[in-house]
């Protein structure tokens, strides 16, 4: 018998619901919150309020598009954390009440594990998934991790950032250049017309498979401050080269540790996940490495790079198979790893 999971994602500024039939995506609906744009970042209070407004309509549309009734659902999976607490509370409370009304179980999902498991959602564009074990470079606005994925439930973080995330490095560099938020996609666009070695920035000296990005932001800031003293229009004149160079440096940092991870684990199936996995430079760099070194790489379709509920539903599916259900007393968490 097929399993129908409703997934709910509300950890940051996207209210999202998706329905999966086993791992097959039937619908995936996202309400973006434009309200944050003018503030140059996500305002938690406004995010919670927008989730509260969006959640019921988004779920209704997801069920309609999936062409099923709520009574056919097997379980409701929701993001428990990490994320903004007020935002998580909306999704968690909704999932509890909805599941209680239908007398079906709830399944708590870790947002970061879900980003990784998004590779297992099947649809018209994603037909292949990695085999266990594989490595996943998770790069988002809040996290940067290299994960050894032994199974859907057994994941080990073998490298992580000690300060900023890769997405933050993109966003902060963009902010310094006066680009709109979120800056990652803006830098990606501008970088296409720029020279990636026009300017060079120092890479961090940090051990093992860990990352650090806060020093890069500081050196970018100081570099521009010095150049602006000589020429007020320096940023405007060099936007493309600056974007290409900072992107090139971030990717070089990411790839260096990923290579070490492949060498040390002997695992050459490599996936990427999270918002920054949409970056065209990173995707090219991974594909080039795959061609040079014989890695098998998995690049998610763009719709699964940023936050979405299909990844929450597929993570819920794996837990459903294990009957790993959550009690109604469960509470969300803002921070933490797996």
Sign of CA dihedral 290, 291, 296, 298: positive
Nearer to Zn ion, 140 or 238 (CB): 140
Angle, vertex CA 308, rays to CA 127 and CA 47, nearest 5? 175
The DSSP-derived string for 265-329 is: H---EEEEESGGGG-HHHHHHHHHHHHHH--EEE---GGGTS--SHHHHHHHHHHHHTT-PBPTT
Q: Could you give the string, one character per residue 298-317, with x where binding to Zn ion holds by CB under 5 A and - elsewhere?
A: ---------x----------
What's the min distance (Å) between Cβ of 298 and ligand KG4?
16
Which partner from the list ligand KG4, Zn ion, none does 278 bind, CB cut-off 5 to 8 Å by kind?
A: ligand KG4
Which partner from the list Zn ion, ligand KG4, none does 238 bind, CB cut-off 5 to 8 Å by kind?
A: none
How many residues does the structure list for the chain? 338
What's the min distance (Å) between Cβ of 14 and ligand KG4?
7
Nearer to ligand KG4, 102 or 157 (CB): 157
Other C-beta atoms within 10 Å of 230: how many? 7
Which partner from the list Zn ion, ligand KG4, none does 184 bind, CB cut-off 5 to 8 Å by kind?
A: ligand KG4
238 binds Zn ion (CB under 5 A): no
Interface with Zn ion (CB under 5 A), residue total 2
What's the min distance (Å) between Cβ of 111 and Zn ion?
6
Q: Mention every residue, 6+ apart, whose C-beta is less than 8 A from residue 244.
A: 190, 191, 192, 193, 194, 195, 196, 198
Give the integer Cα–Cα distance in Å for 195 and 292: 23
Nearer to ligand KG4, 62 or 276 (CB): 276
Nearer to ligand KG4, 159 or 167 (CB): 167
> In a 3-state reduction of DSSP, which class is residue 337?
coil
What's the min distance (Å) between Cβ of 110 and Zn ion?
11
Nearer to ligand KG4, 21 or 168 (CB): 168
289 binds Zn ion (CB under 5 A): no
Nearer to ligand KG4, 81 or 142 (CB): 142
Contact with Zn ion (CB under 5 A) among 74, 126, 140, 305: 140
What's the min distance (Å) between Cβ of 115 and Zn ion?
6
Which partner from the list ligand KG4, Zn ion, none does 4 bind, CB cut-off 5 to 8 Å by kind?
A: none
Which residues of this chain interact with ligand KG4, rule CB under 6 A? 12, 140-142, 167, 170-171, 182-185, 188, 274-276, 278-279, 306-307
DSSP symbol at 165: -
Which positions from 24 through 43 interact with Zn ion, judged by CB under 5 A? none
Give the integer Cα–Cα distance in Å for 174 and 184: 7
Nearer to ligand KG4, 74 or 140 (CB): 140
Instruction: For residue 167, give the H/E element and its range.
Output: helix 166-176
Do you find a cis peptide bond into 305, omega within 30 degrees of 0?
A: no
Question: Helix, strand, coil: what percent of the chain each, to 5?
Answer: 50, 20, 35
Q: List residues near Zn ion by CB under 5 A.
A: 140, 307
């Amino acid at each position: 018998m097929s399993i129908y999971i409703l997934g709910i994602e509300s950890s940051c500024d996207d209210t999202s619901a998706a329905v999966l039939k086993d791992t097959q995506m039937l619908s995936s609906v996202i309400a973006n919150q434009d309200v944050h744009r003018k503030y140059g970042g996500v305002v938690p209070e406004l995010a919670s309020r927008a989730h509260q407004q969006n959640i019921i309509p988004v779920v209704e549309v997801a069920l309609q598009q999936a062409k099923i009734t709520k009574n056919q659902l097997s379980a409701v999976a929701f993001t428990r954390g990490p994320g903004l607490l007020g935002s998580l509370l909306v999704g968690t409370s909704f999932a509890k009440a909805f599941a209680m009304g239908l007398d079906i179980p709830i399944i708590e999902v870790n947002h970061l594990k879900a980003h990784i498991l998004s590779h297992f959602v099947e649809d018209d564009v994603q037909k292949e998934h990695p085999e266990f074990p594989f490595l996943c470079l998770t790069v988002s606005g809040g996290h940067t991790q290299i994960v050894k994925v032994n199974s859907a439930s057994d994941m080990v973080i073998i490298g992580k950032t000690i300060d900023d995330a890769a997405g933050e490095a993109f966003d902060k560099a963009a902010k310094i250049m006066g680009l709109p938020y979120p800056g990652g996609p803006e830098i990606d666009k501008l970088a296409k017309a720029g020279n990636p070695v026009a300017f060079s920035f120092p890479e961090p000296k940090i051990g093992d498979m860990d990352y650090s990005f806060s020093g890069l932001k500081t050196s970018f800031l100081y570099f521009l401050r010095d150049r602006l003293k000589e020429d007020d229009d320096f940023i405007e004149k060099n936007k493309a080269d600056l974007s290409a160079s900072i992107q090139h440096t971030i990717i070089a940092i990411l790839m260096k540790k990923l290579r070490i991870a492949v060498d040390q684990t002997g695992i050459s199936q490599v996936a990427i996940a999270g918002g920054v996995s949409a970056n065209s430079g990173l995707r090219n760099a991974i594909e080039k490495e795959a061609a040079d070194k014989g890695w098998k790489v998995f690049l998610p379709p763009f719709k699964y790079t940023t936050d979405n509920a299909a990844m929450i539903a597929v993570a819920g599916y794996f837990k459903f198979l294990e009957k790993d259900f959550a009690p109604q007393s469960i509470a969300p968490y803002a921070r933490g790893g797996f």
